[in-house]
Amino acid sequence: MIKVYASAHLSLIVPYNLVYNRILYVLRGGFQMVKVEVSSAILEWAVGRVKSPEKLFADFPKLREWINQTSQPTINQLEKLAIKTYVPFGFMFLKEPPLEKLPIPHYRTVKNRNTNAPSSELMETVKTMETRKDWMHDYLIEVGNSRLDFVGSVTSEKSTQKVAEEIKKTLKLSSGWANECSSWESAFHLLLARTEKAGILVVINGIVGNNTRRPLNVDEFRGFVLIDDYAPLIFINGKDGKAAQMFTLAHELAHVWLGKSAAFDLKALHPSNNIIELKCNEIAAEFLAPENEFRYYWFTVTENHKYQQLAKHFKVSEIVIARRALDLDFITRDDFFDFYNHHFERLEQEKLNHKKQSGGNFYAVQNYRVGRRFAQAVITEAQEGNILYREAYRLTGLKSKAYTEFAKRIESEGI
C-alpha cells in the first residue's frame, strides 16, 4: 500500500506531478492493483462535488469503506473516481480539501449565501474562459492591436443615461435600435454581433464545454465578465431563458465599461446589494429601455397586455419591462413579484418545450460555445502554423474531427 500526501496549497503543482509520475512508474512496473491510502476528508469532498452521489456509490461499491478507512482503493479505482468527480488526480493525495475560490467576485442577490463554495461546473467554466481570454490578449498584442479605450472608461458616479449612450455609440447602435428589429431574437443577435465587432469576446453556453451531463445552474449564476484591456470576455449562461439573456448581456456590457470583473445571479433581475452591481443593473435597464421613452409608452399603451406591448416594442422579456416599471415606481414591489411568480410558470414551460426540441446543429451551436471571434483567431493561427493543432483543439474544446469540420464551416460562412 502506498501512503503519500501532497501540500494543500493549490499553487504547489510540482508535488502533484511528482506523485503522479511516481504512480505511473509503479504501474509500469506491473503493480496495477497496488492500493493507496486516501484521506476521508478528500473522499467526502469529492463525493460532494457531484450532483448524483447515489450513482457514484453505485459505481464504486466500496466507496463507503474507503471513506470509513476500512479499506483502500487501488490506483486504477482512485483515478476513475477522480474522473467521475471532476477532481484533478493529484488532489486525491491531499490531507484536506483545497480551498476553491473563484478568481473573480461572485455577487449573489440573496444575502448570506455561501459564495466561497462555487460548483465545479462554474469553477471549470471560469478557468476555461480565463485561458481563452489570456490567449486572445497575447494574440491581439502580437498582431498589433491597440488597447480598447472603453474598458474601465467610466466610474459608478457617472450618469446612468450617459453611460448607456456611450455603450450605444461604441457599438454603433441608434437610439431606437431594438425597435427597428423585427423580433427580440433579431435584436439579440444584432447586439451580439455589434459587441463582438467592438472587440469583446462573447460566449453563450449552458453546459461545461460540450458535456451535456454537466449543465450550468442559472440559480448559481446568469453570467460573468472577465475584464481585459485587449480581450474582455462576456459569458452568458445558456440555460437561462432566451429573452432574459438580453438583459444579462446588457448588464455585462455595463461591467466592461466600469472595468469590473464579476459573476452574478441576478435573481428576479435583482442584483446584490453592491454599488457596482446596482449601477450595472441601472445601466442595463437604461440601455434596453430608456427612461424617457419608457415613460411615454407606459402611459400611452392600453392597460390590457401592457407588459406584452412594451416588451414587443423594446424587444426584451416581459419580466424586464416589469422590473423597469418597478425601478420607475410605476408598480410596487408586491406588484412586481406577483407578476414574476405568475410569469415564472410560463418561463418554465418554455424551457421544457425548448428541451423537447432538437438540440440544433452541433456546429452552429459552437459559434456561441466557442465564440465566433475567438474561434476565427485560433483557426487562423493554426492554419498559419503559429500554434499546433493540438493547442487549437484544447483552446476550442473540440476534438480533431469536430474541429476540422467547424473550421471548414467558419471559412465557408465567412465569419
Classified as helix, coil or strand, 18 is helix
Positions of the chain with pLDDT lower than 50, given as ranges: 2, 4-16, 28-29, 112, 114, 358, 415
Instruction: Dig out the grid coordinates for 334 from the structure.
Output: 408586491
Q: Identify whether the C-beta of residue 178 lies closer than 8 Å to the C-beta of residue 187.
A: yes
Q: CA nearest 15: which of 85, 115, 94?
A: 94
pLDDT of residue 40: 94
pLDDT of residue 14: 43
Q: Identify whether the C-beta of residue 317 lies closer than 8 Å to the C-beta of residue 243.
A: yes
Bridge partners for 236 per DSSP: 204, 223
What percent of the chain has a predicted confidence (pLDDT) above 90? 63
CB atoms within 10 A of CB 159: 12
> How many Å separate Cα 76 from the centre of its chain?
33
H-run or E-run covering 226: strand 223-226
Q: CA nearest 35: which of 87, 91, 94, 75?
A: 75
Separation between Cα atoms, residue 365 and residue 363, nearest integer Å: 5
pLDDT of residue 347: 63
H-run or E-run covering 268: none
Separation between Cα atoms, residue 76 and residue 263, nearest integer Å: 37
Q: Identify whether the C-beta of residue 201 lies closer than 8 Å to the C-beta of residue 233.
A: yes
Instruction: Dig out the grid coordinates for 231 from the structure.
Output: 480581450
Q: φ, ψ for residue 68 (rounded to 5)?
A: -80, -5
Q: CA nearest 330: which of 288, 277, 294, 301?
A: 294
| Model confidence, pTM | 0.84
pLDDT of residue 12: 40
H-run or E-run covering 275: helix 275-288
pLDDT of residue 3: 52
pLDDT of residue 268: 77
pLDDT of residue 414: 59
pLDDT of residue 286: 96
